Structure 1
Amino acid sequence: MNPNPEFDSLVPAQSFDRRSFLVTSLGAGFALAVQPVMAQTAIRTDDSGLLAGEIKVPVKDGEMVAYRALPKGASKAPVVLVVSEIFGVHEYIKDTCRRLAKAGYCAIAPELFARQGDPRGIDSIPEILAKIVYKTPDAQVMSDLDACVAWAASKGADTNRLAITGFCWGGRISWLYSAHNPQLKAAAAWYGRLVGGASEITPKQPMDLVGQLMAPVLGLYGGLDTGIPLETVESMEKALKQGSAAAKVSEIHVYDNAPHAFHADYRPSYRKEEAEDGWQRMLAWFRKSGV
């Protein structure tokens, strides 16, 4: 999440046409900026019974690396796009894909920062934000997510049953994608920023798009999140009631005693009870929406 949205206006626009992908492989392990990992709580989901690993997704300016997991032998599996935090597609996001695959989904996590740089190899969060995140245009991200849907359809997955989920930066993107793709059936946004300044890179925020949501969103937020003021969450709840048909049936659940990143089982912010409850709410939300 960008704690200083006014910074966005200082970032020059990126060309969507360049063909130099700075990240062409995902590697292994957790991002440097999240070390040391809380080994006692980090969840490790095996890939038994799954087809899991790196893929290359064709996009308009080349190939984007992504992680994909689905049940072996699955026929027409529903699709869930998984959008990372600012740390990119590291082990936590891969594990999240495997968890979704165990639930019967084809889960795809694209490295959406691939043109701007590799956040996994940077040990400073401010550096990740300044050099990579703040320079990644929303329009580019929407296009890349569309490319993942097209790739999944080409491989026989059921993109008529399409959902998205994301964490922190990816939570905001999940809101935005719900106003972008009419094919989407459901979204689950984990503690994504709702308000902020407009710029060429980030022209709209979730609060600006409640009238354009095409899929219902489940928002999962922490009452102790110091980066996302509770009043902005409450304002979003009120705005949804005046929004599109999909907005009106969207829901936000606040865990009063949870901080930001309470689902991130590899970090001190992890809250087991809230994370597990949120996961079950998400799966139920997807099923309710026909995904």
Structure 2
Amino acid sequence: MSLHIGVGLPTTGRGPGFAELGDVRAHAVLADELGLESVWAADHLIPVVPIIDSTIALAAAAGATSRVKLGFSVMVIAMRPLAWAAKQIGSLQHVSGGRVLLGVGSGGVPHGTAGWEAAGVPFAERGARTDAALAALPGLLAGEATVLPHEPGRPKATLTPSAAVPPILVGGNGKVALRRALEYGDGWFPSAIAPRTLARQVARLREEAAEKGRPAPVVTVGVPAVLGGGRAEREAVAAAVAQGYGVPPEEAREIPVSGDAREAAEQLAAYAEAGAERAVLMTDRPDWTRHFERMAEVNALLNG
């Protein structure tokens, strides 16, 4: 059983200063050298923690690497002017040699409304704007004359050079995300979800895809990881998941990946059995280098 393994880049801090952010280039290089499939950058404007812009972080990673794929986890596309977002995505495709994985989400409640207010976008419109952006984005990237959503009366926009449309992975755990994945996406990208819940949702996704006569979206899952950590660390992460994602505590305990490489591989195998084809391991441990090395050990056990 195989499962692509991606890792989160250290683009978010846990305190008031950027000194707590990691070296994006160094960690992208290490992930590339260790044979991990992809690196991922979180995205927001004014979240509850310091954050580096995802497009800049991934461009830095692209310039420092040659193989590893570059993922948005996930781009809050409705917060941006769509033409600019498409220009950034297409440009990243060009400079990286077509390595982009485009996770897209509508922006969650936990980060509040400050970013939306700063961007001048009504928070209440984020869902409709996400749908409209996903509908128009492929044409913009392909260099086609495209009507921009929420811009009535303006001429169509044509961006050059054109770029290959990257795989679009729709983020979110609920019904709306599943609907968007079926309507606009190549994949579905839930996070902090237990394998048993994922299995039910994947079965539903595949059933609805068959009813619509289209291929089932590929499933990527974001999983918090404390590799090398013991029971106490796993419980702490599970408690944070329960609080941050509203997951019942007993289910949240199934989610974090921990222990040695073999134990972690067994836990991730449950996600593969549930229908995931990729797992993005997320961590805020200070020992990034050793953690990436442990992830490579897990990758070898699952895919070697």
Normalising by structure 2, report the TM-score.
Answer: 0.37
Structure index of larger Rg: 2
